[in-house]
Amino acid sequence: MPAPRIKPDSVAEASSGASAFSMGRHFMYACGKPHIPVGAHVVPPSGPDWPWREGPEAFDRAFAQMAEHGLTSARIDLLWAAVEPERGRLDEAHLAVLDRVFDAARAHGITLHPALFVGGEVGDAYWDLPWASGVNPHTDPELVKLQAAHAAQLARRWASRPELIAWDLTDEPPFWIYGETTDDEHAVEWTAALTQAIRANHPGCLVTIGTASQEVDGGPFRADVVADALDFACVHPYPIYSPELYADRLGSRRMSMAGAFETALARGAGKSVMVHEFGASSTQFAPEAIADYDRLVCWSSLGAGAIGFYAWCWIDAEPAAYRRAPYVRMPHETQFGLLDAEGKARPRASVQSELARVTGALDLEGLAGDGPWTPASIPVPHEYVKPYDRASYGLDDAPSGPYVPAEKAWEPARDVKPLVRGWLNSYVFASRAGLPCQFPREKLDDSWPATPIALLPAPLTSTTSSLLHMRTSFWQGALDYVEAGGVLYLSCSAETAIPELAEFAGVRIADRAVATDRLELTAVEPFAGLEAGDVVSVELPAAARVGGAANNLHLRGVELDVVDARTVATDAAGLPALTVARRGRGAVVVCAYPIELLAAEIADAHGDADGLWRVYRLVRDLAGIEPPVDLDSPQLARGVLRGPRGGILVATNHGREDVSVPVKTSESSRAAEAVRTIEVVHTAAAVPVEIPDGRPVEAGETVHVPSGGAAIIAWTC
C-alpha cells in the first residue's frame, strides 16, 4: 500500500492564498489531518549550481521517480545568486523556471519545501553573491533588509501554491564563510526579519530553518536561539562529521542514535523537530550498511518525536560533474543518493519508501498526537541557552557590586563538547535501560523537572566552567524533588562540587579517585540483572590513558565517604562506586565515576556486551517506571508516542544480533487495565520479515526484531 499523498485539488480548495499546512500539538497537519512528510533533498545530478546549467526538467524527472517510490515531499535549494543576480532585482527568467519546478511537484503529488538564500551547499561549496561578496548576510543591516524584501517577493509569488509545504529560511546557517562572525543576537534579528516578511505576504504559512549541528556545536542558530520565531525546528544529524562525539562505526549504537538524540535535544527548546537531512556516502560505506543506518536513524528519531524526514539526497552526481567544484574537491559528496547517477535505486531508497508507507497509515492523531512519552529528564544549563545572561547572576534583587564575569577572558571561546558528550552518552545509556529522555531547560527559579526521573551526568555536576554545569542554587531543590517521589541520578568527576550533596545523597566527596586505566564496578548486592560479585568493567583506550583521566579532571572519578547511603557497587579498590540513598518517597543514585564522559572516550562504545547501562536500569527500577507496552531488552532503543486513544512503541535494534523479545505490559494495574488491544503494526528490516503488518498480539507473545531493524507496535486504550 503506497503512502497517502496530498491531493493537489483538495489542498487548493483549502488554500486560496493561505497555507493548507499547519502545526498541531505535535505533528504537522495537512488539510486538517496529521501528516509526516517523507522525502529527500533534490540536487540535480549535474550539481548544486544547476541554474547556470539546466532547466526544470531534472526536477520533473526526480519528482516523477519520487512519486513512484511512494515519497511525498522534496526539499530544493533556491540559489541566492541566481534568484537575485543584482542588488534588489529578482531575475524573472529564473523565477519562471522555478514556477515550472513548482508545477512539476504539484503534477506528481509531491509537496515542495524550498530553502532560500543558498548559499552554502555540498562539500565546501559556497555559492557567493557577487554584488555583496565579503559582506556577512546575518550582520549587515542593509543586506538583512534586502533579504527581507527578497523573501517577501517570493512569498507573494508562491503564497497560493498548494504544493508549498513550508518555507526554509536557508540551508545550514550561519552562512558557511561567515560562521565565525555571527552570534546569537545576529541570528535572532535575521530570523525575525525574514519570518515577518514571509508571514506578512503568506498568511498562515509554516516557516523553519534547516540547521545542522547547531545544538551539538553550540552554534548561534541552535533551537534555543531561533525556535520562538519558527513553526518547527530542524536537525541535520551527520555524526560521520563529528568524530569528537562519534568515534564509531556507522552501524554502532551511538552513531545510529544521533538523529534521536539531536531531535530530543532540540525539542527541549519548545518546538516540534524535523529530521531535515541525514545520510552517508556510498564512497565510504556499503550501500547496505547505509540503509541499515538510515532505518535506525529514522525510526528511532520518530520514537523521539521527529515529525518529518528528508534524506540527503535524492540522486548521485553524474560522472561528468566530478571535474567541477564541489565534487572535484570533495569526492565523497558524489554518492549520497537514494538513487545512483543512472537512476537505479540504492537500498536506502526502500527505507524511505517503507517509512512513508507505514507512517502514512498510522493513526497519528489518536495514538501519537500528544508526542513522545519521556519519563526522564536530562537538564540543559541556562548558560547553554543564554550565555552570560545578567538575569542569571542573582544580583538584581538586592544591592550588589558591579560584577563582570572574568570567565569571558579566561575562556573566550568556550567548548560545548564536554557538555554534549555527557548528554549524548547519558541518552544512549538511558535508551538501553528503557528510559526515554527529554532535555528540559534550566529555569532561573531553580525549579526541578516535572518528570519522575532526573538524570544529571557529569559534567552537569561540575564546577569551574559555567557552560557545563547547573547553577549552584539548583541543588537546593534536590531534597524536595526526591522526598516528593523523584529519583535522582548523578555521576561525579573530580570536577564535581555540590554543597548539599551529603544532605540529599547520603555521601560526600572525600578526595579525587586514584587515577586508573580501567574502571571496574563490582556489585555488592543484586541490581539490574547483576548478582552480588558480578563485575562490570571498562578499559580506557590508550589515548585516554595517556592524556585522559590523569590530566583531565572531568575524566577522573572521586572517592566517596558514605554518610547514610547504601553501597550498591564498589570500585577496584573496594571503595563505594555506586550508592543509593532513600529520601522520603524517592531515592538518589550516585556514581563515583563519570561513566558518560569515559564512554565518550571509547570508540564504538555501547556495544552489546557493555554493561554500564545497568546503572541506568537501577534508576528505572527504583522509580518503578515503565511504558504501558514494552519490548524490554537492552539491545533495543525504545521510543514511545502517546495520543488520546493509545500509543505507539518504536523499538529499534542497534545491536549486532537479532533479538526476540516478549511483549510486556506495565505491571502497574492502572496501566495494564488501560491497554485494550496490541498489534505489531510493522517490522522494518533489510530482509522482509514474514510477519503480516497489523498482527494482533497478547502480552507475553514474542516479537522478532532483526539487527538494524525496527518493530512498530501500537496499542489502544
Domain ranges of the chain: 23-361, 376-393+407-623, 629-716
Query: How many angstroms separate the most distant Cα atoms in the chain?
Result: 77
Q: What is the mean pLDDT of residues 86-90?
A: 96
Give the pLDDT confidence of 584-609 residue by residue, as tens digits.
999 999 999 999 999 999 999 999 99
What is the reported pLDDT for 669?
A: 46
In this prediction, what percent of the chain has a pLDDT beyond 70?
94
Mention every residue, 6+ apart, whose C-beta is less than 8 A from residue 453.
375, 376, 377, 435, 486, 487, 488, 489, 619, 620, 623, 625
Strand arrangement, sheet containing 659-665 = 629-631, 659-665, 702-705
Instruction: In whole angstroms, give the CA distance from residue 472 to residue 534.
Output: 36
Q: What is the mean pLDDT of residues 217-238?
A: 97
* Helices 613-623 and 417-432: angle between axes, nearest 10 degrees: 60
The residue with cell 497555507 is: 19
- pLDDT surpasses 90 at 237: yes
Give the pLDDT confidence of 394-452 residue by residue, as tens digits.
998 888 888 889 998 888 888 999 999 999 999 999 999 999 999 999 999 999 999 99
What is the reported pLDDT for 493?
A: 96
Give the pLDDT confidence of 282-325 residue by residue, as tens digits.
999 999 999 999 999 999 999 999 999 999 999 999 999 999 99
- The DSSP string of 526-569 is -BTTB-TT-EEEEEPPHHHHHHTTTT-GGG--EEEEESS-EEEE
- pLDDT surpasses 80 at 103: yes
Fold of 629-716: Immunoglobulin-like (2.60.40)
Give the confidence band of 140 by pLDDT, cuts at 50, 70, 90: very high
List Cα–Cα distances, 536 to 395, 418, 570, 595, in angstroms. Answer: 46, 24, 10, 12
Instruction: In whole angstroms, give the CA distance from residue 254 to residue 260.
Output: 10
- pLDDT surpasses 90 at 15: no
What is the reported pLDDT for 516?
A: 82
Instruction: In whole angstroms, give the CA distance from residue 338 to residue 71.
Output: 11
What is the reported pLDDT for 7?
A: 55
394 phi-psi bin (left φ>0, alpha ψ -120 to 50, beta other): left
The residue with cell 501554491 is: 161
Q: What is the mean pLDDT of residues 19-45?
A: 95
Among residues 51, 142, 134, the alpha carbon closest in space to that of 91 is found at: 51
- pLDDT surpasses 70 at 688: no
Pick the CATH number of 376-393+407-623 from 1.10.645.10, 3.40.50.880, 3.40.50.1110, 2.60.40.10: 3.40.50.880
Instruction: In whole angstroms, give the CA distance from residue 712 to residue 640.
Output: 10
Residue 278, helix vs strand vs coil: coil
**Fold match between domain 376-393+407-623 and domain 629-716:** no
Nearest 5°: the CA angle 612, 617, 621 is 155
Lowest mean per-residue pLDDT among 405-419, 448-462, 479-493 = 405-419
* Helices 347-361 and 287-304: angle between axes, nearest 10 degrees: 20
Give the confidence band of 8 by pLDDT, cuts at 50, 70, 90: very low
Give the confidence band of 5 by pLDDT, cuts at 50, 70, 90: low
Specify the DSSP class assigned to residue 229: G
Give the confidence band of 506 by pLDDT, cuts at 50, 70, 90: very high
What is the reported pLDDT for 14?
A: 42
Give the pLDDT confidence of 552-582 residue by residue, as tens digits.
899 999 999 999 999 999 999 999 999 999 9
Give the pLDDT confidence of 348-364 residue by residue, as tens digits.
999 999 999 999 999 99
Give the confidence band of 268 by pLDDT, cuts at 50, 70, 90: very high
Give the pLDDT confidence of 604-631 residue by residue, as tens digits.
999 999 999 999 999 999 999 999 999 9
Beta bridge partners of 576: 570
Q: What is the mean pLDDT of residues 332-354?
A: 97
Burial (CB < 10 A; 0-12, 13-18, 19+), residue 398, is: exposed
Fold of 23-361: TIM Barrel (3.20.20)
Round the average pLDDT of the chain to a whole number and report it.
92
What is the reported pLDDT for 123?
A: 76
Q: Which three cell numbers stand for residue 234?
A: 530542524
Give the confidence band of 17 by pLDDT, cuts at 50, 70, 90: low
Give the confidence band of 198 by pLDDT, cuts at 50, 70, 90: very high
The continuous run of DSSP H or E covering 220 comes out as: none
In this prediction, what percent of the chain has a pLDDT beyond 90?
82
Q: What is the mean pLDDT of residues 662-689?
A: 78
Q: Are 556 and 494 in contact (CB under 8 A)?
A: yes
- pLDDT surpasses 80 at 10: no
- pLDDT surpasses 60 at 547: no
- pLDDT surpasses 50 at 12: no
What is the reported pLDDT for 399?
A: 84
Specify the DSSP class assigned to residue 51: G
The continuous run of DSSP H or E covering 354 comes out as: helix 347-361
Instruction: In whole angstroms, give the CA distance from residue 336 to residue 316.
Output: 6
- pLDDT surpasses 90 at 139: yes
